[in-house]
Amino acid sequence: MGDLNVSKRAQSVPASPIRKLIPYSDEAENRGIHVYHLNIGQPDLATPTIYFDRIRSFKGVDAYTNSAGLMELREKFSEYYKRWGIPFEKEDVIITEGGSEAALFAIAAVADPGDEIIVVEPFYANYRAFATFLNVKLVPVTSRAENGYAMPPISDFEKVLTSKTRAILFPNPGNPTGTVYTSETLNEIVDFAFNHNLYIISDEVYREITFDGLKAHSIMDFGKQENLIVIDSLSKRFNVCGARIGALATKNRSVLKSVLKMAMMRLSPNRLSQYGALGLFELNDSYYRTMVNEYQKRRDVVYDELSKVPGIVLSKPQGAFYFAARIPVDDSEKFVKWMLTDFSVDGKTTMVAPLSGFYVTPKLGKDEIRIAYVLKEKELREACQILKMGIGAYKSERKKAKV
Amino acid sequence: MGDLNVSKRAQSVPASPIRKLIPYSDEAENRGIHVYHLNIGQPDLATPTIYFDRIRSFKGVDAYTNSAGLMELREKFSEYYKRWGIPFEKEDVIITEGGSEAALFAIAAVADPGDEIIVVEPFYANYRAFATFLNVKLVPVTSRAENGYAMPPISDFEKVLTSKTRAILFPNPGNPTGTVYTSETLNEIVDFAFNHNLYIISDEVYREITFDGLKAHSIMDFGKQENLIVIDSLSKRFNVCGARIGALATKNRSVLKSVLKMAMMRLSPNRLSQYGALGLFELNDSYYRTMVNEYQKRRDVVYDELSKVPGIVLSKPQGAFYFAARIPVDDSEKFVKWMLTDFSVDGKTTMVAPLSGFYVTPKLGKDEIRIAYVLKEKELREACQILKMGIGAYKSERKKAKV
C-alpha cells in the first residue's frame, strides 16, 4: 500500500510542451504586452457557417449516438476518402473524439505495456503522452533540419527494430515539420512494415493542406492494407478544433473490432458536433482551395522573413501549417520564455514552441523551434520580424552574460 | 515480431454488455416488432431548451478551449458543489469528455499496470473496460440482491486487500442497483481507505436522482479529502448524454496535476457543449424536482409490476433510474436474446440488460438483470407486463426443453 502517491504512469505523462508555457504568455499579456501566438495549432480562420447552421437546426434529445458514430457521418467520411482514391467503406471508419482519441485507440489496439512503437522524430508531441498513458515505449528514428526533415533511411528503422516492435507512427504532412513524404519513401516504409509484421499508424490530419500543387499521399495508396491504420481529424481542415471530431479508419477487421470495443467504453462521440460535421462534408473544392492558398501565402511570408535570420537552418515546408527550424540559441525553451519575460518591440512579442518536447532522444530539439503560421499575413510578418530581432538580441545578451 | 495480432489489451477489453446485444434488437425491429428499450441508460426526457439556446447563440471560431475546460464552467461546477455542501473550488475541477473520461483518468492517475482497484460489484460495466484498457486489475467485493445490494461489510474489503491495492471504486447512487449508501457505510469506507492509504474514486453522476426525500451523500462529506476523487457527469441529470460533459474533482494536488497532463494530451473538451452546459447550471430547483418526481413515479410502476413476478428478488431502489433484480432464469443473457428473437405480445417485446457484465466474479449475475426506467409511465407499465409474461413463458419453455 505505502504512500498515497499517484501512479508512475501519471508521473511520467509529459505536460504538453506547447501548453505548459502558457502561464508565461498570460503573464506577459497581463503586463500589457501583445503576444503573437505562433505557438499553437489553433487556426485563426473562420469556422464554416454550415457547421453552426446544422447544429442550430438540431431538434430532439441530445442523446448518445452509436459508439462508432452516426452512420451518416461514417458514410460521409467514406465518400470523402473515395474522392481521394482511398478505399474506405463506412464500416471501416469509427468516429472518435478528435484525432487525439484516434491516436490513443490505435496505439492501444496494437501495443501492450512494454511494447515498442517506432516514431519519426520530431513528431506530434502528444504521441508521447498517449504512449506513456498506455505504458508503451516510443523508439525514435531521427529526421534532421539540415535535409528538410526528410524520412530517415530504412537502415535507421532496421537498427531500432526489436522483438517488441509493433508499429511505426508518423504524421504526414508532418507536425511540427510541415514535411510531405514522397511516394518512394512511403512505399519503402510500407514494405518494411509488411516484411516485419508491423502496423503503420499514419496520422493524416493535414491531408489537404499541401502547397505548390503537391499532393500528400495517403498511406493507403501503397497496398498491404491489413497493416495500415489511418488517424484523421476535422479540426484543422475545417477549423473546428473545439468540435472534437476525428476518425480511425482501417481495413484490418481485428483492429476495427478492438477499437469499436474501446469506443463502446466511452459510449459515444459528441452528437451535435457530428451533425455539424455532416454539413462540413458538403463544402466544395473552392473552400479547400481558398484555405490552402491562404496557408501557402503565409508560409511564403514566414520563409521570406526567417530565411534572413543569420545562422538559421530552415527548409520551405510543403504542407500543414508549421515550420520547424534550427535557430542559433543554446536552449529554445529558455529562449521562448525569455521572449515572453524580457523582450518586446513596441509592446509586442512573439511566442513559438520549443522543439525538445517533440523528440524522444534526450537533448535533441534544444536548438529548434516550431512556428505555427496561424495569423493573417500582416500580423504574421510583424511576428516573424519580432522573432528575428529577438533571436539577435538573445544571442548578444547571452554573449554579454558569458563575458 | 511474430504475427500481425492486435494487443492482448485490445483482446481483453470487454464489449459493452449493454450495447453488444443491440444487433438482436435491431433485427427484431426489422421484423416489425416494437421493442421497449429498458436496456440502456438513455433517458427519454427532453434536453432543457436553455442548453440548445446557449449553443445556438455561440459566435466565433469553434476553437480549442483550455484543456481543463472553460474557467467559467469550472466555476459553475464549483458553485454547484458548494450548494451541495461540497467544498470544491474551481481549480479543483477538470472538465472531462463525459463521466467516462473522468473515470479513465482517475484510474490512470492512481494505478499502474498490475495494480489493483477494489470495486463493489455489480458495478457500472464500463469500469471493467477502463481498467482493462489501462492494464489495471479490478478486485471485487460483492453486494447481493437479497439485501438490496447494500455495501458489503469492511471485513470483505480487508479480505481482498493486497500490497497492490491502490483504490476503491463505486457509484453512488448505484448503477445498476439504484442503491444509495448510508452515511455510516460511507464513513466506514472512507476510514478504511484512509487507514490503508487508498484512494476512493466515487462516481456520483446520479447525485440528485434520489427518492422518498433521501439525500445521497457525496464522499466529500466524510473528511480525509486527500484520498478522495469524485467523478461526475451532466449526462443523466440534464439529459445531455450526447454532450459528453463530465468532470473530475479532487482536493489532491498531485492527482489534479496528473489529470491536467492527461487532459492536455487530448487538447480540449468540446467547446459548444461547454457553452450549453453553462446554461444548464442556471436551471432552478423546480427542474430537478420535476425530474426526480418523474423517476420516482416510474420506479413505483416498475416495482408494482415486477414484484408480482414469482421467484423474483427485488428491492425498491432509492436512487438513479435502474432496478437490478434476480429473476428465475438460468442465463439472463440467453433470456434477453430470447425476448428479442422468440417472444412478443401483440407485436411488442421488452429489452433489458443481463447483469453478468456488471460483475468481475465469474458466473455471478447470470440470473440477474438491469431495468432502466427510461420510458413514460404507460409504456413502462406495458413493458414490465411483457417482461413478466416473458419470464413466465421462458421458464415453461425451458422446462419443456428439458423434458
Query: Are A151 and A181 a contacting pair, CB within 8 Å?
Result: yes
The interface pTM score, or ipTM, of the predicted complex is 0.96
Burial of residue A224 (CB within 10 Å: 0-12, 13-18, 19+) is middle
Task: Record the cell numbers describing residue A257, joined without a space.
Answer: 473490432
B4/A226 Cβ within 8 A: yes
* pLDDT, position A61: 95
A186-200: pLDDT as tens digits: 999 999 999 999 999
What is the strand order of the sheet B313-314 is part of?
Answer: B313-314, B322-326, B368-372, B353-354
A115/B243 Cβ within 8 A: no
B61/A56 Cβ within 8 A: no
Burial of residue A232 (CB within 10 Å: 0-12, 13-18, 19+) is buried
Boundary (domain end) residue, out of A234, A253, A280: A280
One domain for residues A355 and A243: no
A104/B242 Cβ within 8 A: no
Query: Are A86 and A318 a contacting pair, CB within 8 Å?
Result: no
Query: How far, in Å, CA of B101 to CA of B201, rounded?
Result: 13
* pLDDT, position A43: 86
Positions of chain B with pLDDT lower than 70, given as ranges? 1-2, 402-403
Q: Is residue B2 part of a domain?
A: no
* Total of domains in chain A: 2
- Count Cβ–Cβ pairs < 8 Å, chain A vs chain B: 260
One domain for residues B61 and B81: yes
One domain for residues B302 and B374: yes
User: Locate cell 497493416: which residue?
Assistant: A227
A52/B242 Cβ within 8 A: no
Query: B181 by DSSP, 3-state: which?
Result: coil
* pLDDT, position B80: 98
Burial of residue A385 (CB within 10 Å: 0-12, 13-18, 19+) is middle
Q: Is residue B345 part of a domain?
A: yes
Maximum separation of any 2 CA atoms in chain A, in Å? 71
* Min Cα–Cα distance to chain B from A29, Å: 17
In the predicted model, what is the mean pLDDT of residues A94-118? 98
Q: Is residue B3 part of a domain?
A: no
What are the DSSP calls for A253-300, one per residue? HHHHHHHHHHHHHT----HHHHHHHHHHTT--HHHHHHHHHHHHHHHH
Q: Is residue A101 part of a domain?
A: yes
Boundary (domain end) residue, out of A249, A280, A311: A280
Which residues of B308-403 form beta strands (DSSP E)?
313-314, 322-326, 348-351, 353-354, 368-372
* pLDDT, position A402: 67
In the predicted model, what is the mean pLDDT of residues A350-376? 95
Helix A49-56 vs helix B49-56: angle between axes, to the nearest 10 degrees? Answer: 160
Cis omega before residue B171 (within 30°)?
A: no
Q: Which of A219, A211, A163 is nearest to A186 (CA)?
A: A219
DSSP-H helix ranges across A85-125 = 98-110
One domain for residues B79 and B33: no
- B45 CB neighbours in chain A (<8 A) are 61
One domain for residues B195 and B58: yes
* pLDDT, position A19: 77
- B262 CB neighbours in chain A (<8 A) are 10, 13, 129, 133
In the predicted model, what is the mean pLDDT of residues A255-276? 97
Query: Are B196 and B302 a contacting pair, CB within 8 Å?
Result: no
* pLDDT, position B1: 43
**Closest chain A residue to B98 measured between Cα atoms?**
A266
* pLDDT, position B3: 72
CB burial of A298-324 (b: ≥16 within 10 Å; e: otherwise) equals bbebbbebbeebeebbbbebbbbbbbb
pLDDT-derived band at A400 (thresholds 50, 70, 90) equals confident
B318-362: pLDDT as tens digits: 999 999 999 999 999 999 999 999 999 999 999 999 999 999 999
Query: Are B374 and B40 a contacting pair, CB within 8 Å?
Result: yes
Mean model confidence pLDDT for chain A: 95
One domain for residues B36 and B106: no
DSSP-H helix ranges across B57-181 = 71-83, 98-110, 126-133, 154-160
- A197 CB neighbours in chain B (<8 A) are 1-4
User: Locate cell 545578451: which residue?
Assistant: A397
B197/A6 Cβ within 8 A: no
One domain for residues B156 and B54: yes
One domain for residues B276 and B324: no
B56/A258 Cβ within 8 A: no
One domain for residues A256 and A131: yes
CATH number for the domain that contains residue B113: 3.40.640.10
* pLDDT, position B313: 95
**Closest chain B residue to A4 measured between Cα atoms?**
B197
Q: Is residue B367 part of a domain?
A: yes
One domain for residues A339 and A272: no
pLDDT-derived band at A247 (thresholds 50, 70, 90) equals very high
Burial of residue A20 (CB within 10 Å: 0-12, 13-18, 19+) is middle
Query: How far, in Å, CA of A269 to CA of A273, rounded?
Result: 8
Q: Show the CA angle centred on residue A381, arms to residues A379 and A384, nearest 5°.
A: 105
- B108 CB neighbours in chain A (<8 A) are 7, 9-10, 133
Q: Is residue B56 part of a domain?
A: yes
Q: Is residue B325 part of a domain?
A: yes
One domain for residues B304 and B333: yes
Closest in A40, A110, A267 to B100, CB measured = A267
**Closest chain B residue to A9 measured between Cα atoms?**
B112
Boundary (domain end) residue, out of A265, A280, A295: A280
One domain for residues B141 and B187: yes
Query: How far, in Å, CA of B165 to CA of B152, rounded?
Result: 17
Domain boundaries, position A217 = 49-280
Q: Which of A53, A92, A85, A88 is nearest to A69 (CA)?
A: A92
Query: Are B226 and B190 a contacting pair, CB within 8 Å?
Result: no
pLDDT-derived band at A1 (thresholds 50, 70, 90) equals very low
Closest in A101, A264, A271 to B15, CB measured = A264
Best of B7, B233, B375 to substitute, by most chain A Cβ atoms within 10 angstroms, is B7
Q: Is residue B354 part of a domain?
A: yes
* pLDDT, position A403: 59
CATH number for the domain that contains residue A42: 3.90.1150.10
Closest in A197, A244, A258 to B4, CB measured = A197
Q: Which of B115, B97, B94, B99 is nearest to B258 (CA)?
A: B94
